[in-house]
């Protein structure tokens, strides 16, 4: 009933531990790219397209992961990326560390259900690191209160249509991907998002913002254009027209020979 070449695994060492090892191998690949100083990875997908990036969402999307247990981590990272827009690496790396700790407990004789119950209880616990010093505990409590106050204050005064506020709150996420370039990219991203932002924030469509890459120049030459950008030169001698009406005709023949490339 099964396909040729299948493998049937059973037992603790063959099934559970092998699943844990597969997830640990995936987290080992991504965890070195965590943070603003994370290392880039060179990924070549099935189309022989080269990617040099430290973005975990891009890495797991282009990797051809076949193991079922590792695919669960990939789905968790994708869900984090789609919901929040960042933190995919943290999800995969943290899950790998949890599974590594679970592997040690399994080898000690604990049942996987007992480990799941323990991890579930740990979610609702606040762990305060204390080296025996009262000052350390008080300092950490003050830091927690300050951080909670900043989060509450930022969420109350956030205006998604204010360019300065959007730019300020975006720097942390952009710096984790393009460290040192956030001061250039954040205003451009803020302008593009504000232009396509609907009245109801729930109805925002990220596909309304596109990136057109042109050869030459640098990051400082980037700009935001309200409208459509066609990569390519005009066929005729007319290069510039202001306050005109334009008819868009998409031809499969023109696209196939490279005359039309819309971004």
Residues 102 and 140 in one domain: no
Both tokens of 142, joined, read 């003050």
pLDDT at 129: 47
What φ, ψ does residue 51 adopt, rounded to 5°?
-125, 130
DSSP-derived secondary structure letter, 41: E
Residues 34 and 94 in one domain: yes
256 within 8 A of 262, measured Cβ to Cβ: no
Residues 159 and 181 in one domain: yes
Tell me the β-bridge partners of 43: 51
In a domain, 222, yes or no: no
Both tokens of 56, joined, read 């975990």
Distances (CA, A) of 111 to 98, 104, 124: 15, 11, 22
DSSP-derived secondary structure letter, 106: H
Phi-psi region of 49 (alpha: psi -120 to 50; beta: other; left: phi over 0): beta
In a domain, 129, yes or no: no
Picking from 78, 94, 123, the residue at the C-terminal end of a domain is 123
In a domain, 36, yes or no: yes
What φ, ψ does residue 145 adopt, rounded to 5°?
-65, -40
Residues 21 and 117 in one domain: yes
What gap in Å lies between CA 86 and CA 57, rounded to an integer?
9
Tell me the β-bridge partners of 50: 44
In a domain, 27, yes or no: yes
Picking from 209, 226, 245, the residue at the C-terminal end of a domain is 209
What gap in Å lies between CA 163 and CA 210, rounded to an integer?
19
Residues 109 and 195 in one domain: no
Residues with Cβ within 8 Å of residue 80, at least 6 apart in sequence: 86, 87, 88, 90, 91
Q: Which domain does 97 fall in, by range?
A: 12-123
In a domain, 248, yes or no: no
Residues 138 and 115 in one domain: no
Domain count, the chain: 2
What gap in Å lies between CA 146 and CA 142, rounded to an integer?
6
- The residue behind tokens 């409208």 is 227
Both tokens of 195, joined, read 């232009």
Q: Is 86 exposed, middle or buried (0-12, 13-18, 19+ CB in 10 A)?
A: middle
Residues 66 and 166 in one domain: no
pLDDT at 166: 82
| Kind plus residue range of the DSSP H or E element containing 42 | strand 41-44
Helix (H, G, I), strand (E, B) or coil at 51: strand
Residues with Cβ within 8 Å of residue 157, at least 6 apart in sequence: 165
In a domain, 154, yes or no: yes
Residues 82 and 51 in one domain: yes
Phi-psi region of 85 (alpha: psi -120 to 50; beta: other; left: phi over 0): left
| Kind plus residue range of the DSSP H or E element containing 132 | none
In a domain, 101, yes or no: yes
Domain of 21: which CATH number?
1.10.560.10
In a domain, 141, yes or no: yes
Residues 112 and 169 in one domain: no
Picking from 171, 186, 209, the residue at the C-terminal end of a domain is 209
Helix (H, G, I), strand (E, B) or coil at 135: helix
Residues 48 and 102 in one domain: yes
Residues 46 and 94 in one domain: yes
| Kind plus residue range of the DSSP H or E element containing 208 | none
Residues 188 and 85 in one domain: no
pLDDT at 168: 83
pLDDT at 12: 61
- Give every residue of the chain whose pLDDT is below 50, as ranges: 128-132, 134-135, 154, 261-263
């Amino acid at each position: 009933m099964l396909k040729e070449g299948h493998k049937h695994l059973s037992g603790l060492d063959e099934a559970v531990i092998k699943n844990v090892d597969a997830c640990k191998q995936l987290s080992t690949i991504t965890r070195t790219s965590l943070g603003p100083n994370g290392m880039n990875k060179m990924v070549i997908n099935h189309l022989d397209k080269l990617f040099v990036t430290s973005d975990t969402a891009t890495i797991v999307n282009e990797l051809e992961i076949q193991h079922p247990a590792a695919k669960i981590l990939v789905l968790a990272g994708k869900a984090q990326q789609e919901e929040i827009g960042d933190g995919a690496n943290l999800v995969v790396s943290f899950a790998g560390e949890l599974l590594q700790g679970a592997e040690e407990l399994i080898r000690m004789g604990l049942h996987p259900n007992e480990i799941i119950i323990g991890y579930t209880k740990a979610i609702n616990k606040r762990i305060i690191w204390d080296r025996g010093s009262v000052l350390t505990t008080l300092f950490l409590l003050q830091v927690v209160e300050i951080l909670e106050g900043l989060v509450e204050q930022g969420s109350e005064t956030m205006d998604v249509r204010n360019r300065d506020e959007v730019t300020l709150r975006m720097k942390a996420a952009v710096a984790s991907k393009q460290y040192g370039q956030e001061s250039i990219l954040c205003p451009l991203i803020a302008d593009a998002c504000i232009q396509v932002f609907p009245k109801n924030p729930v109805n925002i469509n990220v596909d309304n913002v596109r990136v057109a890459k042109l050869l030459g120049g640098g990051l400082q030459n980037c700009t935001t254009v309200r409208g459509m950008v066609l990569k390519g030169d005009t066929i005729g001698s007319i290069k510039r027209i202001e306050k005109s009406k334009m008819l868009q005709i998409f031809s499969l023949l023109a696209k196939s020979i490279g005359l039309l490339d819309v971004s």
